[in-house]
A and B are shown apart, each in its own frame.
Chain A
Amino acid sequence: MHRPVNENWKQTTMLIFEHARQGRRAYAQAPAEKPAFDDIPEQFRRKAPPELPAVSELQVVRHYTRLSQKNFSIDTNFYPLGSCTMKYNPRACNTLAMLPGFLARHPLGPVDHGQGFLECMYELQDILQEVTGMAGVSLTPMAGAQGEFAGVAMIKAYHESRGDHERDEIIVPDAAHGTNPATAVMCGCKVREIPTGKDGDVDLEALRAVVGPKTAGIMLTNPSTVGVFDRKIEEMSKIVHEAGGLLYYDGANLNAILGKVRPGDMGFDVIHMNLHKTFSTPHGGGGPGSGAIGVSKRLKPFMPGPIVMKDGDGFRWSNRDELPNSIGRLSAFMGNAGVLLRAYIYARLLGRSGMQRVGEYATLNANYLMVKLREAGFDLAYPERRASHEFIVTLKRQAKETGVIATDYAKRLLDFGFHAPTMYFPLLVPECLLIEPTESEPKEELDGFVEAMATINREAETEPQTVKGAPYTLPVKRLDDVKAAKELDLAWRKANAA
């Protein structure tokens, strides 16, 4: 007997607590003896047992297997989320990072028990330094946003150390990642926004007009979030440096230039790298990430610690005297060890020539996809420009003619088995989709995506309601975005139990 579809759907979207029945348990998983906790003082012991779901082993297995089948991930589908670099995470990185010596290492264990791990981290610092052309690297920041915070905090500390107390303005182009102005504000700076020209490059005249004795620095992503490489970067670097400011490189789009151009050579003073993007550690769903930073010579004394040092043949953490003006610690140990290990292994697997191929194929894939979509009748936001690792399609015309908007295209793509691209970002392009295929996708996958987009384009003209009602094939249909944002319902509470 088949269960009716809606019943099945309900089964697969229930919380584990909703499967619970009093007295049910997984006996095989329970400890054989009641653990002793005599060594925990009375006042710290809980009075009531924790609220655990009373379920059988089979229920647990089914529940989590079903959930895993619902995962939309790079392991199952094409995931062209712009600026997120959802590339394949090689299995070798997982396998090697999970060697028992790494897994069992305690972060507070003696340094001579973790020499292998420290050596990997030392080499990772070296590799990242070389790849970005910087003078020093700290692996400590736990994610991109923390890397950004570290970067701007260092810029501030640098100016302060020179008695230059008036510099509290950070210049941010309007095509920047939303985190850039947020970081500047977090660090106590004011944001000066400058516009992007029609060709996608930063407006140099606008830049000249805002720099001055209050300029602490500029935050730039290059290639930018409009998917093009800013050709005037050297000129910008000169303008900002001559005004006494520093240049911050947002490494979100580093994948496009990996092994090709180095931020250090472009004149940047500080950079954060999203190792979970460019160096292919698993991400999505909120982490864990890694926002390692690289600095120019003048910012080296300000790096967040600790970093890994080499003494003869041995490795150790740096001490305070070695980073005298450090902005301090950003994490309890030194970032997410497992993520850093995967990034290290990825870098070693690629080698120098492999990294160049990453940049080349990421760019080739993006340009191929861009041209194919244009041929299929889509408008590009910057048609005159070659794409870097990502590009923008604008659906302004379709929205006007058919009423079908970018959201509808994104939702309909799900029915075709593709994750939606980034939408409505950057804000300066109306009805946009920001598409980043990465180097890992084969041509057939890209062609399939173009075909799906072309189909949706036809549907928008002939049967717009079909597109506006999508998705149809997923466990949940079109969601009420407003209700979801206004009435967050994230935590299970006993009173809510069915």
Chain B
Amino acid sequence: MSNVPAELKYSKNHEWVRVEDDGSLTVGITDHAQAALGDLVYVEAPEVGESYGAGDACAVVESVKAASDVYSPVAGEVIESHESLADEPEHVNEDPYGEGWIFRLRPDKPEDVDALLDVDGYQKMLEEEDV
């Protein structure tokens, strides 16, 4: 069973979201997502200053199996980008909720986060997907 921390929010596309003290959001992909992808070989993090709508593709994770889009969990502007993952994508596999963070977002509407899944919702979704 994959690791699903209780304090985070989750999207249906397997991104995790942490609400920081200043209201910004840190985003990465879940432990389940990194395990399904396998060893990553490249991460293309979004550019700082870009704005995305909820569900817009904004980053790419590429593994030995496949390249997948990472979607912006809510609408907002990118305020920090973990660009060094391009050279060290293994952080996403080794520490998906820590060193493997991909970008930070300033949400257009802070309340949008409430619509994301909580730990129970995400875990239930994983069970339904039978993984």
Chain A residues near B (Cβ < 8 Å): 396, 424-425, 427, 430, 481-482, 485-486
**A430 to B130, alpha carbons, bound, how many Å?**
10
Per-position 1/0 for B23-35, Cβ under 8 A of A: 0000000000000
Establish whether residues A482 and B39, one from each chain, have CB atoms under 8 Å apart when the complex forms.
yes
Q: A430-B36, A430-B131, A486-B41 are in contact. Are A481 and B64 (CB under 8 A)?
A: yes
Establish whether residues A424 and B66, one from each chain, have CB atoms under 8 Å apart when the complex forms.
yes
Q: What's the least CB distance linking B92 to chain A, in Å?
A: 12
Establish whether residues A424 and B41, one from each chain, have CB atoms under 8 Å apart when the complex forms.
no
Instruction: Say yes or no for B65: interface residue by CB 8 A criterion.
Output: yes
Residue of B nearest to A481 (CB): B64
Q: What's the least CB distance linking A197 to chain B, in Å?
A: 16
A–B complex contacts, Cβ < 8 Å, 14 sampled: A424-B66, A425-B66, A427-B68, A430-B131, A481-B39, A481-B64, A482-B40, A482-B64, A482-B90, A485-B41, A485-B42, A485-B64, A486-B41, A486-B42
**A424 to B66, alpha carbons, bound, how many Å?**
8
**A396 to B68, alpha carbons, bound, how many Å?**
20
Q: What's the least CB distance linking B62 to chain A, in Å?
A: 8
Report the 7 A-B pairs with minimum CB-CB distance, sorted nearest first. Answer: A481-B64, A485-B41, A424-B65, A482-B39, A486-B41, A482-B41, A427-B66
**What is the total number of residues of chain B having a CB less than 8 Å from a CB of chain A?**
12
Q: What's the least CB distance linking A228 to chain B, in Å?
A: 21
Q: What's the least CB distance linking A32 to chain B, in Å?
A: 51
Which residues of B are found within 8 Å of A430, using beta-carbon distances? 36, 131
**A104 to B37, alpha carbons, bound, how many Å?**
50
Per-position 1/0 for B50-72, Cβ under 8 A of A: 00000000000000111010000
Which residues of B are found within 8 Å of A485, using beta-carbon distances? 41-42, 64
Residue of A nearest to B90 (CB): A482
Q: What's the least CB distance linking A403 to chain B, in Å?
A: 13
Which residues of B are found within 8 Å of A425, using beta-carbon distances? 66
Which residues of B are found within 8 Å of A396, using beta-carbon distances? 130
Per-position 1/0 for B118-131, Cβ under 8 A of A: 00000000000011
Which residues of B are found within 8 Å of A427, using beta-carbon distances? 66, 68
Residue of A nearest to B41 (CB): A485
Residue of A nearest to B65 (CB): A424
Which residues of A are found within 8 Å of B64, using beta-carbon distances? 481-482, 485
Q: What's the least CB distance linking B84 to chain A, in Å?
A: 14
**A315 to B68, alpha carbons, bound, how many Å?**
48
Q: Which of B42, B64, B90 has the most CB of A within 10 A?
A: B64
Q: What's the least CB distance linking A430 to chain B, in Å?
A: 7
**A332 to B42, alpha carbons, bound, how many Å?**
35
A-contacting residues, B46-101, CB 8 Å: 64-66, 68, 90
Q: What's the least CB distance linking A480 to chain B, in Å?
A: 9
**A481 to B38, alpha carbons, bound, how many Å?**
10
**A486 to B89, alpha carbons, bound, how many Å?**
10
**A2 to B87, alpha carbons, bound, how many Å?**
45
**A485 to B68, alpha carbons, bound, how many Å?**
16
Q: Which of B41, B68, B130 has the most CB of A within 10 A?
A: B41
Residue of A nearest to B93 (CB): A482
**A69 to B65, alpha carbons, bound, how many Å?**
28
**A146 to B73, alpha carbons, bound, how many Å?**
34
**A482 to B40, alpha carbons, bound, how many Å?**
7
**A385 to B64, alpha carbons, bound, how many Å?**
30
Q: What's the least CB distance linking B116 to chain A, in Å?
A: 21
Which residues of A are found within 8 Å of B90, using beta-carbon distances? 482
Q: What's the least CB distance linking A180 to chain B, in Å?
A: 14
Residue of B nearest to A423 (CB): B65
Which residues of B are found within 8 Å of A424, using beta-carbon distances? 65-66
Can you name 6 extra interface pairs (CB under 8 A) apart from A430-B131, A485-B64?
Answer: A424-B65, A430-B36, A481-B41, A482-B41, A482-B90, A485-B41
**A485 to B63, alpha carbons, bound, how many Å?**
9
Residue of B nearest to A487 (CB): B41
**A318 to B59, alpha carbons, bound, how many Å?**
45
Which residues of A are found within 8 Å of B40, using beta-carbon distances? 482
Residue of B nearest to A424 (CB): B65
**A486 to B90, alpha carbons, bound, how many Å?**
11
**A229 to B50, alpha carbons, bound, how many Å?**
41
Which residues of B are found within 8 Å of A486, using beta-carbon distances? 41-42
Which residues of A are found within 8 Å of B39, using beta-carbon distances? 481-482
Residue of A nearest to B64 (CB): A481
Which residues of B are found within 8 Å of A481, using beta-carbon distances? 39, 41, 64
Which residues of A are found within 8 Å of B42, using beta-carbon distances? 485-486
Residue of B nearest to A405 (CB): B38
Q: What's the least CB distance linking A486 to chain B, in Å?
A: 5
**A294 to B68, alpha carbons, bound, how many Å?**
31
Q: What's the least CB distance linking A5 to chain B, in Å?
A: 29
Residue of A nearest to B36 (CB): A430
Q: What's the least CB distance linking A105 to chain B, in Å?
A: 42
**A171 to B42, alpha carbons, bound, how many Å?**
27
**A482 to B36, alpha carbons, bound, how many Å?**
15
Q: What's the least CB distance linking A483 to chain B, in Å?
A: 9
**A430 to B42, alpha carbons, bound, how many Å?**
21
**A430 to B126, alpha carbons, bound, how many Å?**
13
Q: What's the least CB distance linking B68 to chain A, in Å?
A: 8
Q: What's the least CB distance linking A186 to chain B, in Å?
A: 15
Residue of B nearest to A425 (CB): B66
